[in-house]
Amino acid sequence: MSLFKFFFCCSSSRNTALESSSVAEMSPSADSASELSNPESPTEHDAFILNMPDLVMREILKNLDILSIQKLRKVCHALREFIDYSKPDNNFFCIAIEMEADESRTNEITGRAFSRILHNSESEVYYKSNEIFFKYAEHNDGCEVTDKNWPWKKNIIEKNFIDAHTDDFLIPMLKNQKSLLDSLYLLPTIPKKSSLKNVEKFLDSVVQVLESRDRLLKVKFLAVCVVGQDQLMELLRCVDLKSLKVLQVFNAVDTENYEDLYLNFDILEGCETLFDLHVHKSTISSKLSSLAHILNLIVHMDNVHYEELLDFKERFIHSKNAHNAEIHYKEFPDKSRFLASLGFSDDSGHRWFFEMPDRLITIENKISSCFSFKSEKKIIS
């Protein structure tokens, strides 16, 4: 149901009430006169959308598409409070938020949310992807907001661009998401010399919105940029780890030095549904044993030990869900012992092949302090 039809129905009933009240005013009876003299008594012209029972309002919201709900939310504070209180499910399958924070350029945030709309045609029934897109850019008078549907129309909000994005996009899109998200991208990035304040403020706003929910966020694929351990833990504590399958963590600062950011992932220990972990431009201080159940991983470890890597190798070889892993390390004190267990006594870049019934496993000792694991199907000639 479109927002236009919704308001047409409401305004029609309201106009009818107003017309009847106007007739009553022209020829007042004793009863109507007493009603007019008593402002507390209900009259027909008092009836409007917010006087409808909650059940009726909730049923109306169920029949509105997400774009109409977001427009309705901006009509007045009363409607906004009701929608946020009733929490209708947004039914998004993907939310992507990116921020560019650069002291020498205009800072901006782009937010995208995707939902599926059911379409019926004469030949088939199918789902069509619907995109909501907004851009929030710094402006001399506050924040300039651009809507993809009306790119020529620029709205100026007297707020910081992060605050404007939080109120206008983040809260309505993320707070009321109940169904499982396929993917969530939270990717603020800054150049090497820029301030971290904007990124920290953005991530704090995301955490505050997630903490204000009455349930953990269910998401299968999560990609996030962080500037520190605390923010990473605050975000992960707001996520239902039982639904998480892929986690990608990036360093929000554009740097090549892995030692600029140390992260601990002990929170993922025992998270059996997670099968893919990529940590970019950061060093992991956790033990490899706490991540051994995640067989598809690209990580840079602070240190690795013989028993941990041997256990990971055995898990990788015997798992049919393992495809690719790269374990970089800063320190590997008993590396020669691990090499000897594979049948070699040096680290000159050898490869080891393990024949499995349906796959071929390759373990490569790279010169760049990394062990690479790869599983591929056998080619039968």
Q: What is the pLDDT of residues 295-348, one digit of tens each?
A: 999 999 999 999 999 999 999 999 988 999 999 999 999 998 998 888 876 666
Q: Which of 188, 222, 254 is the last residue of a domain?
A: 254
Dihedral of alpha carbons 144, 149, 151, 153, sign: negative
**CB neighbours (10 Å) of residue 3?**
16
Please give the pLDDT value at position 348: 64
Please give the pLDDT value at position 296: 97
pLDDT > 70 fraction of the chain, expressed in percent and rounded: 75
* 96 and 166 inside one domain: yes
* 76 and 122 inside one domain: no
Please give the pLDDT value at position 66: 63
For residue 32, name the pLDDT band (cuts at 50, 70, 90). Answer: very low
* 201 and 154 inside one domain: yes
For residue 2, name the pLDDT band (cuts at 50, 70, 90). Answer: very low
pLDDT > 90 fraction of the chain, expressed in percent and rounded: 50
Quote the CA–CA distance of 57 and 110 in Å, as a whole number: 31
* 124 and 162 inside one domain: yes
Strands 262-263 and 283-284: parallel
For residue 124, name the pLDDT band (cuts at 50, 70, 90). Answer: low
Task: Give the lowest-confidence range in 105-109, 319-323, 343-347, 372-376.
Answer: 343-347
3-state secondary structure of 96: strand
Please give the pLDDT value at position 89: 62
Please give the pLDDT value at position 7: 44
* 132 and 63 inside one domain: no
**CB neighbours (10 Å) of residue 108?**
20
Task: Give the lowest-confidence range in 144-148, 171-175, 276-280, 370-374.
Answer: 171-175
Q: How many CA atoms lie within 13 A of 306 on its CB side?
A: 10
Residue that wins the pLDDT comparison between 191 and 208: 208
Q: Which of 223, 254, 285 is the last residue of a domain?
A: 254
Query: What residues contact 40, with CB distance under 8 A and at least 6 apart?
Result: none
Instruction: Tell me: pLDDT of 121 over 90.
Output: no
Residue 109 domain-assigned? Answer: yes
Please give the pLDDT value at position 194: 78
Query: What residues contact 137, with CB distance under 8 A and at least 6 apart?
Result: 106, 107, 108, 109, 143, 144, 146, 161
Amino acid in position 329: Y
Number of domains within the chain: 2
Instruction: Tell me: pLDDT of 41 over 50.
Output: no
State which residues form the domain around 67: 1-23+34-88
Amino acid in position 272: E
Residue 113 domain-assigned? Answer: yes
Using alpha carbons, select from 344, 346, 337 the residue that is nearest to residue 367: 346
Residue 299 domain-assigned? Answer: no
Residue 317 domain-assigned? Answer: no
pLDDT digits (tens, 9 = 90+) for 233-285: 999 999 999 999 999 999 998 888 888 899 999 999 989 899 999 999 999 99
